[in-house]
Amino acid sequence: MRRTTLFIVLLLCTSLHAQKFEGLALTPPMGWNSWNKIGCEVNEGVIRAAADAMVASGMQAAGYRYIVIDDCWHGQRDGDGFIQADPVHFPSGMKALVDYVHARGLLFGIYSDAGWTTCAGRPGSRGYEYQDALQYSRWGVDYLKYDWCATGDLNAREAYTTMREALRKAGRPIVFSLCEWGSNQPWLWAKEVGHLWRTTGDIAVVFDGVVDHGGWNSWGVMQILDMQEGLRVHAGPDHWNDPDMMEVGNGMTEAEDRAHFSMWCMLAAPLMAGNDLSAMSPQTIEILTNREAIAVDQDSLGIQGLKYLAEDSLEVWFKPLTGGEWAACFLNRSRLPKKVLFDWKSHRIEDSFSGRAIDFSAGQWKIRDLWAHREIGTTRKPFSAEIPSHDVRMLRLQPARK
């Protein structure tokens, strides 16, 4: 009898602490988020247009799935406490908008905040976690970005765990994106809570620099890249470091956009576009839909790339891939062009985290340029190139048959 009672108690304790929905993000999520370009001007027409453009531009075919509406969609809570969409900007209601996105073969994401209000002052989820999760489930939401404004002295791990429990209780599988800006080292605890977590503050439309907003800063692409140092051991299938949404197509140069996208792929980062999908240049579409670069990001091993060398504003990165292949990326952070002469045979890449190694003196690898989309020889000869300012050469290395 005592053993039976103990078993029941253990079962009840286990059921009180549900796990996140497993297997929803075995590769980094790909999609679009409204905040970077649209901000609080968001409305149902904007979201519908983004969904249509994701399909028409070829982004959906390239692997993008999520249309995520960020802050400022909120109206008020009804008499029972359930959140409603702003009736002026979303007159058809949120369920109709979700259905519109789903009808195009896409998935729908929504935004809330762990505090009393969102970052833009709309109703947050604090005290309403279970009602909000149930409402999202009723609407058919597939993805939740959960912010960290107006949280007072809340414990981050507990607050995000509460929403995880609420999502699980609501019953609809939803990708859970934690957005507390890396302030509480989520990489140390969020694997069991969500599918991805922000590692930094907000990104800016700056390749290299900091934007001072008075009480807080937003960060350039290179600053955010540097902030990923030491975090790769915490990422993998279904649990990703998130260096924030992309700024591709929002005002940087084509070279900077290409470098930005390449490095996010090397980081195995979520690829969440943040530009106006309805007004993309051919160059922006080409960057965002480069399937060879995307394949590096979406590789099923799920290993985040490592910085191997850094010298005179030139960095060399490597990323282990399936089938014994590797990605390599030469990043020029300088404002001037840089010449590269990389003698493969002089290097042995060892990655203790993944247990992968590559000894270029012991064999040859075929080299494919992922932006030129062509084979450029093997590692038998040194790699020689001039890389323009703020640009990259991104390569894929495949073992050559003997």
From residue 12, alpha-carbon distances to 15, 303, 370 in Å are 5, 36, 52
Q: Is the CB of residue 331 less than 8 Å from the CB of residue 314?
A: yes
Concerning whether 147 is annotated as a catalytic residue, the answer is: yes
* Residue 92 DSSP symbol: T
State the Rg of the chain over Cα: 22
User: Could you please report the per-residue DSSP string of 322-364?
Assistant: GGG-EEEEEEE-SSS-EEEEE-GGG-EEEETTTTEEEETTS--
DSSP string, 128-160: -HHHHHHHHHHHT--EEEEE-SS-TT--HHHHH
Please tell me which residue in 113, 202, 238, 391 is annotated as part of the active site.
202
Q: How many CB atoms are closer than 10 A to CB 41? A: 10
Long-range contacts of range 205-213, CB-CB < 8 Å, 24 or more positions apart? Answer: 205/36, 205/247, 205/250, 205/251, 205/252, 206/252, 207/252, 207/253, 207/256, 207/259, 207/260, 207/390, 208/333, 208/390
Alpha-carbon gap, residue 58 to 365, rounded angstroms: 31
CA 153 to chain centre: 27
Judge contact between 28 and 297, C-beta under 8 A. yes
Task: Assess whether 299 carries a catalytic annotation.
Answer: no
Residue keyed to tokens 């195995």: 268
Shortest CA distance to 177 belongs to which of 162, 193, 189, 188?
193
Both tokens assigned to 268: 């195995």
Give dist(CA 110, CA 74) in Å, integer: 10
340-351 in b/e form (b: 16+ CB < 10 A) is eebebeebebeb
- Enumerate the active-site residues: 147, 202
